Structures are given as structure tokens and as C-alpha cells.
């Protein structure tokens, strides 16, 4: 990460480079809180390997660990004024930020995987349900065809006209040229035989 990417305002006075080299991390962090870019550059070089190590131990993924390292160091720049030298070391404070950020990333990655898994399982369930429906419909058609084959030709003809052709019993009588009473009888007898045949096939 280049320091210029942080879009920070320069300070008017900076400590000499030799003094920055000799400064402790705590002194550098206090200087960073005052907006000292050179102090931040020195602190960055000093602590980034440590931050990367913490992130890598938590994440077990180098690319993700590098991303978290960048995020943590940006956070160090932005929150440096929250560091209290009397409450701990700069290394401990930065390490805590790194660990928290890495754990948050683990949770975020896991949450994303869980969402993907749920979507995948839902899609698989839908696909299974669709196949099951198609099989059930095919089975129903197979059963009906075999049940129809057990009827007499006259019964089957009347059933097909009424229930597959959409005709009333009067239409069936007209089409077949038989009395309405005969059409009713054929339909009734055919339906009874069809029901029995379907029960035998189940």
C-alpha cells in the first residue's frame, strides 16, 4: 500500500529520519496520531510483517491475510489517536486490531459460504422436486393407459370421449349414435372398471 493512497494531509514539521529510525513503536504511533506521514511509513514497515502473521494464522489464506493487513494498517492510521501508551504497547494494540479484523473476515467468509450452500441446496431441492413431479405424472399416465386397456372397446371409447375429449354424456351418445341411457351406462361401468384397475396397479 503506498502512503499516498491514504489521502492524508501532510504535517508542517517532521522529525529527522534518524530520529524516526530510533523511535519506539509507541512514539511512532503517537506521532501518527498527530498526522505524521513519515512516522506512519516507518511504523508501517515495522509492524506490517507482524500484522500479516496474525492474519495468516487466523485466516489460513495468504491472499485474504494480505487484504486484512492492508485494512488493519489503514485502521491504524485512522484510529491512532485512540492509542493510550499508558494502557499497553503499540504492538499489542495493533495486534489486537489485526486479530479482530481477521476474525471478522473469517465470519464474513463463512457467512458467504453458508449463503451459497443454502442457495445450492434450495436449487437442488427444487430440481429434485421437479424430477419427482415429472416421474409422478409419467407414472400416472402409465397407470391410466394400462387401466384403460382393461376396458371393453365400447367402454374405453365412451371414457376417452367424455374425459379426454371433454364431451358430455349427451355428446357421447350423439357421437356414438346410441341412446343417452346407454351412454350413461357405458360411462358408469367403464369408470367403475377403471377405478378397480387403477387400485390393482397401485
**CATH at 46:** 1.10.1740.10
Please answer whether residues 21 and 10 qualify as being in contact, where contact means their C-beta atoms are separated by less than 8 angstroms.
no
Examine the domain organization and report whether 14 and 90 are in the same domain: yes
Of the two residues 150 and 5, the one the predictor is more confident about is 150
- Model confidence over 123-178: pLDDT tens digits? 555 544 554 455 445 446 667 777 778 888 888 888 788 877 777 878 888 888 89
Examine the domain organization and report whether 88 and 14 are in the same domain: yes
Reported for 138-147, long-range contacts at CB under 8 A and 24+ positions apart, including other chains, are 143/198, 143/201, 143/202, 144/198, 146/197, 146/201, 147/194, 147/197, 147/198, 147/201
Q: What is the pLDDT of residue 153?
A: 86
Stated pTM of the model: 0.49
Q: Mean pLDDT, to the nearest integer, of 45-62? A: 93
The CATH number given to whatever domain includes residue 169 is: 1.10.10.10
Q: What is the pLDDT of residue 140?
A: 62
- Total tally of structural domains belonging to the chain: 2
Structural domain including 92 reads 3-116
Q: Is 38 contained in some domain?
A: yes
Of the two residues 61 and 120, the one the predictor is more confident about is 61
Angle, helices 169-176/180-201, rounded to nearest 10 degrees: 110
Which of 66, 95, 116 corresponds to the end of one domain? 116
> Is 51's pLDDT higher than 90?
yes
Q: What is the pLDDT of residue 82?
A: 92
- Model confidence over 74-128: pLDDT tens digits? 999 999 999 888 888 999 999 999 999 999 998 888 877 777 677 666 655 554 4
> Is 53's pLDDT higher than 60?
yes
Amino acid at each position: 500500500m503506498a502512503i499516498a493512497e491514504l489521502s492524508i494531509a501532510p504535517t508542517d514539521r517532521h522529525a529527522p529520519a534518524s530520529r524516526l529510525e530510533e523511535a519506539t513503536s509507541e512514539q511512532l504511533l503517537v506521532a501518527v496520531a498527530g498526522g505524521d506521514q513519515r512516522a506512519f511509513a516507518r511504523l508501517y514497515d515495522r509492524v506490517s510483517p507482524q500484522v500479516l502473521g496474525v492474519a495468516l494464522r487466523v485466516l489460513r489464506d495468504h491472499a485474504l491475510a494480505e487484504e486484512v493487513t492492508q485494512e488493519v494498517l489503514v485502521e491504524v492510521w485512522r484510529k491512532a489517536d485512540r492509542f493510550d501508551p499508558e494502557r499497553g504497547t503499540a504492538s499489542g494494540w495493533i495486534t489486537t486490531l489485526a486479530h479482530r479484523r481477521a476474525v471478522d473476515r473469517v465470519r464474513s467468509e463463512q457467512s458467504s459460504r453458508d449463503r451459497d450452500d443454502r442457495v445450492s441446496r434450495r436449487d437442488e431441492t427444487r430440481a429434485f422436486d421437479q424430477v419427482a413431479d415429472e416421474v409422478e405424472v409419467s407414472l400416472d399416465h402409465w397407470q391410466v393407459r394400462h387401466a384403460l386397456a382393461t376396458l371393453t372397446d365400447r367402454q374405453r371409447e365412451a371414457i376417452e370421449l367424455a374425459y379426454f375429449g371433454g364431451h358430455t354424456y349427451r355428446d357421447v351418445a350423439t357421437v356414438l349414435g346410441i341412446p343417452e341411457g346407454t351412454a350413461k351406462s357405458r360411462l358408469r361401468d367403464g369408470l367403475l372398471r377403471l377405478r378397480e384397475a387403477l387400485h390393482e396397479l397401485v
